[in-house]
Amino acid sequence: MKIGLEVHVALPTHSKLFCSCSTADVDEPNTNICPICMGFPGSKPSLNEEAVRIAKTIANALNCKINQSISFVRKVYFYPDLPKSFQITQLQGSIGLEGEVTLSSSKVHIRRIQIEEDPARVIREAKYTLLDFNRSGIPLVEIVTDPDIVSEDQLREFLFVLRSLLYYIGVDIDKEIKADLNISLAENRVEIKNVTGIKNLVDAARYEIKRQSEIIKSGGVPEKETRSYDEKPQSTISSREKESDEEYGYIYEPDLSEFSVSGLTVPEHIVDARKVSRELAEKHNLDYKTLLELIAFDTEAMSLLRYGLEKSGLPADVVVNALEAKKRFGKAVNEKSLPLLADYIQKGIQIDRDVIMRIEKGMPPAEVEVSNEDTDKYIKEELSANPEFIEKYKKNPKVIDFMVNTVSRKHGIPQKKVADRIKHILAEYLK
Ligand SMILES: [Zn+2]
């Protein structure tokens, strides 16, 4: 059995590959567009250096030989996602060649890493087709492997290793790792196009291996073909939508000259999490693995950790605690909220959703002591806003928790205090 992959990775650049349109994810279709990324006749591409820098970083991480002078080709095909009828990509002039990824008991050779443009998004409706060009021209790298993978387990391991290698250099493919799988159990190669996500890729391979081995067992030969994967019944279906690779026409791209990558350095926002963790762990006497786990899959967390340890003046253990809270509460934990969060941590208060909400409102842990009268007033307000509460309470005293939570949250009063006062008030109401 032989499995090879063509993995597509979107590069975290600010603008598209050949024009200055933004790569930001926007809901409104066809807003980040211009004549270049829509392929208008006469429009000329100009290469985004940031994309080349990131692609070079990836090629380095996958142990590729770097092509010092890269060039582009036109891959000609006719399909509505590319109105200019060709995709700008790379072949011999690819940025990275002959790399390898080491697995626990084998190696996967990387044939090449090429830079290319994403086509438009095609949305099929019952009676018509829609096109969204926001995606058109987004820079991708395609990572092409040799067919070195020989089992489902190796495929899974390769995808996980690739994912973490890319994560460590700041390229997040968790949500949308996209790949074509080439699987051959006999002489003919079957290609499964456009499978998204690690789980689906492994499932698709498992299904396809089973399908081909059944054909072989019954004396047949699997046909050379292109199939697509359907995750619902977990099966692959024969598809002949686009031509096979051999049928594409390639010509060189006359609008882009050869580009030298020799002087290009890693862009500032692409940072190796392993390096950062090692440096910070050593300097602040912290555990390397803990730091790596906190920042590996999150560039925001990485810069917060740096800020916390180097600039905030907070003790290192408090910063690490805050980063742990960030893992759970995401964006709510940031440079701005860090000092307040640190107050809570230093007072030994457990960080839960309530605390995060208080922090978001800028409420310090040592309550600006809310008086008993004010607390009573807030409780009474809440009770009159919920006239059915008393009846509910008579049937089930446990509903008091909800009321305590609501008042505590709204006004930043500790739950215990609200619970004390509410009991007094309810006793009066129930007299
Ligand atoms: Zn554009």
* One domain, residues 206 and 122: yes
pLDDT at 276: 82
Q: Are residues 25 and 139 in the same domain?
A: yes
46: CA distance to ligand 1 center in Å?
Answer: 11
Question: SS3 helix, strand, coil % of the chain, rounded to 5?
Answer: 40, 20, 40
Strand partners, 139: 117
Assess whether 356 and 377 both reside in one domain. Answer: no
* Residue 181 belongs to a domain: yes
Q: How far is the CA of 35 from the centre of ligand 1 (A)?
A: 6
Q: What is the DSSP letter of 332?
A: G
CA 67–ligand 1 middle distance (angstroms): 27
Domain total in the chain: 3
How far is the C-alpha of 322 from the C-alpha of 288, rounded, in Å? 17
**Phi, then psi, of 380 in degrees rounded to 5:** -65, -40
**Are residues 304 and 187 located together in one domain of the fold?**
no
Range of the domain at 400: 372-429
pTM reported for the whole predicted model: 0.66
Tell me, yes or no, whether 120 and 232 share the same domain. Answer: yes
- The pLDDT score that the predictor gives to residue 404 is 87
The structure tokens listed for 201 are 């890729």
**417 and 300 inside one domain:** no
Amino acid at 351: I
Give the list of residues 6+ apart from residue 407 with CB closer than 8 angstroms, or none. 375, 378, 379, 382, 413, 418, 422
Residue with tokens 């500032």: 268
pLDDT value at residue 160? 86
The reply to whether 64 falls in a domain is yes
Per-residue tokens: 309: 């340890």
* Ligand 1 geometric centre to CA of 140 (Å): 15
Averaged pLDDT in 10-residue chunks for the chain of 431 residues: 92 93 91 93 93 92 92 89 91 93 91 95 91 94 95 91 79 73 87 88 91 88 84 71 63 92 75 80 91 79 91 93 92 93 84 88 74 89 89 88 82 80 85 75
Q: Looking at the structure, do residues 124 and 28 belong to the same domain, yes or no?
A: yes
Check residue 205 and give its pLDDT. 92
Which of 368, 306, 318 shows the shortest CA–CA distance to 343? 318
Q: Is the same domain home to 217 and 167? A: yes
> Are both 65 and 132 inside the same structural domain?
yes
- The confidence score (pLDDT) of residue 56 equals 92
pLDDT at 350: 78
Q: State residue 294's pLDDT score.
A: 86
Ligand 1 centroid to residue 82 C-alpha, Å: 13
CA of 18 to the centre of ligand 1 (A): 7
Residue 136 alpha carbon to ligand 1 centre in Å: 8
Per the structure block, which two tokens stand in for 402?
Answer: 């909800």
Whether 215 and 316 map to the same domain: the answer is no
